[in-house]
A and B are shown apart, each in its own frame.
Chain A
Amino acid sequence: MQFTPPLARLIEHFQRFPGVGPKSAQRMAFFVLGMNKEDVGKFADALVDAKERVKHCSRCYHLSAQDPCEICMSERREPLIICVVADSKDVIALERTREFKGRYHVLTGLISPLEGKGPDQLSIRELLNRVHSDGIKEVILAINPTIEGDATVLYLNNLLKPLGPKITRIAFGLPMGSDLEYADDVTLSRAMEGRREV
């Protein structure tokens, strides 16, 4: 005996989400059945609304309902410093720190041939244009220290260097409030490499 088609269809849709297996999908579908009709309508609207209104900003490729996005439009932001990140989620993470006052550029991924992502699939050409035409002074690369991240950093560095801005990469090391003894060997040796005078 299988679930009746409308329910089975809903379960299948949930199951396509990242990190959701058959059991979780079932629970979600049953939860939807238990909701009142008005809430289900709001949920459906939210899905469609988000999909329709959220777009990549035409300057920095951050996800926003505005174009250009809030950050690009803000006049209180230092316009000549760009922080390059892989993903919109990284922008949000960096914004939480309230430390960075420049603007962003979202690459929409990292170079990874295995996933079919090359420079042309990312917003790299747009970044180069921005750096060139806006006369950017500093490009900060806030990119994960993975193989794919390192490859992307090398690629960007090769292309950005001739354009003249200062190019930096964020430091790697110990998380705050953590213990030396719990750090893994690689992190620790990177932290050693990146030491600085106190």
Chain B
Amino acid sequence: MLVKKLTITNFRNYKQESVLFCQDRNVIIGENAQGKTNLLEAIEYASRGRSYRTSTESELIYRGEDFAVVEVDFVARDYDQKIQIIVRKKTDGGKTASGGQKSEKQIKVNGVPKGNTRGLKGHLVTVGFKSQDMSLIRGGPADRRDWIDDIASMLSAGYKTLLSRYEKAVTQRNRLLKTFFERGHLTGSDIDELKVWDQQLATMGASIIKHRVRCLAEALPIAQSYQEKISGSREKLTAQYYFHVSSAEERRFDDDESGEESEPSVSMENSDLLAMEEREIALRLMQLFKQRRSDEIMRRQTLSGPHRDDVRFSIDESDATAFGSQGQQRSLVLALKLSELKMVSEHLGEPPVLMLDDVMAELDLRRQGFLMESVHRDMQTLITTTHLDGFEKEWLTGATLISVVNGHVDKSERLLPI
């Protein structure tokens, strides 16, 4: 895939700008707060219909204006395509939940209007690596679930629907738990009713877990080989799928000496889960629901299931989140992102557009070198940076250098061999 041209009007700090990109390496250079990332944000916005930087889309509009336009000309599946998105502030002046101004958008793909952002799916695919991605390791379980869910929904068409049905069922079940809590006592028919939701969550949950574990099994060997290369074969990466256990429960584990027999195991080897039938996983979930029933009612929350699960990464058998050094965590995220890139490429049958937002700051020279090396020459790369020091001369030769100053593309030039 190839982004040829980006045209933006009233987008962030740009009044009106048109940027041409070359087919391989594009370096967007500029000082802080000039608008480098805004260019990448605009492309990602065209690709997904939402921004990773804000949920209030009126923030995308240049201050004092009523609308913004993003237009991307790109080549995918060997033909020229175009995505256009117009964001307008709503005139009735309603506010979003977070207090921002409401907006509406119009999406067109190749001139065809699309009713919603789902219509954008699969047209322009980008994979990014930005400093926020460090939350994959440093952040909470939700960040890791999002990552694996993203990959799973790419690989399997029905996964998104499954996930949203599951979430609805969790909401219903939590409400039921709350009713029980408020009423204070349980009758036999209450238990029957709760069981129905247990059954639903267990069936759908098992299917979600199975999808995730399969994804992990596919991504892990790729990530491992990257990790090995980055670390010079010194570090071994492993991943484990965790059934969630509340902290109260964990404490009980520690206190209870005979706990090993009475409680089910909470972390599972990927290979074990992979070998398990969906039905077995569902049974196990049913068990968990049953065991924690009183706890769940006390807390009015569904405590087990894929919406609480986690994927933990370990380096040489010690947990990367807790014990990994900064450098180890960075290379781990890099390895995971590169494996995602590879899976996306294979799935699409062509490489996606790679967007690297100020990542050089996160990596040491050796890892920078490795990243540059692993970026295929035939993959279009857009990278933002404040300076060119970290780049190898050879890599820069033939690249397009785009300088950004205060909401303008100052100049765009191709670097010639020196």
Does chain B have a CB within 8 A of A74?
Answer: no
A113/B195 contact (C-beta < 8 A), A119-B189, A186-B161, A189-B158 known: no
Shortest Cβ distance from B380 into chain A, in angstroms?
30
Q: Residues of A contacting B196 with CB < 8 Å? A: 111, 151-152, 154-155, 158
Q: Residues of B contacting A147 with CB < 8 Å? A: 165, 168-169, 172, 200
Known: A113-B176, A148-B172, A185-B157. 9 other contacts (CB 8 A): A113-B179, A114-B172, A119-B189, A147-B172, A147-B200, A151-B172, A152-B196, A158-B196, A189-B158
Which of A's residues lie within 8 Å of B, judged by CB? 111-114, 116, 118-120, 147-148, 150-152, 154-155, 158-159, 185-186, 189
Supply 29 A–B pairs (Cβ within 8 Å), ascending by A: A112-B172, A113-B172, A113-B173, A113-B179, A114-B172, A116-B179, A118-B176, A118-B193, A119-B189, A120-B189, A147-B169, A147-B172, A147-B200, A150-B200, A151-B169, A151-B172, A151-B196, A151-B197, A151-B200, A152-B196, A154-B196, A154-B199, A158-B192, A158-B195, A158-B196, A185-B158, A186-B158, A186-B161, A189-B158
Which of B's residues lie within 8 Å of A, judged by CB? 157-158, 161, 165, 168-169, 171-173, 175-176, 179, 189, 192-193, 195-197, 199-200
* B contacts with A: majority SS: helix
Shortest Cβ distance from B176 into chain A, in angstroms?
4
Residue in A148, A151, A185 whose CB lies within 8 Å of B161: A185
Q: Residues of B contacting A114 with CB < 8 Å? A: 171-172, 175
Are B172 and A119 in touch, CB under 8 angstroms? no
How many A-B pairs with Cβ below 8 Å? 48
Are B193 and A155 in touch, CB under 8 angstroms? yes
Q: Residues of B contacting A158 with CB < 8 Å? A: 192, 195-196
Q: Residues of A contacting B173 with CB < 8 Å? A: 113
Closest 4 pairs (CB-CB, A-B): A113-B176, A113-B175, A155-B196, A185-B157
Shortest Cβ distance from B32 into chain A, in angstroms?
44
Q: Residues of A contacting B199 with CB < 8 Å? A: 154
Shortest Cβ distance from B320 into chain A, in angstroms?
35
Q: Residues of A contacting B200 with CB < 8 Å? A: 147, 150-151, 154
Q: Residues of B contacting A120 with CB < 8 Å? A: 189
Q: Which residue in chain B gives the minimum CB-CB distance to A159?
A: B192
Shortest Cβ distance from A56 into chain B, in angstroms?
21
Q: Residues of A contacting B192 with CB < 8 Å? A: 119, 155, 158-159
Q: Residues of A contacting B195 with CB < 8 Å? A: 158
Shortest Cβ distance from B352 into chain A, in angstroms?
22
Shortest Cβ distance from B185 into chain A, in angstroms?
15
Per the bound structure, the CA–CA distance linking A154 and B189 in Å amounts to 14
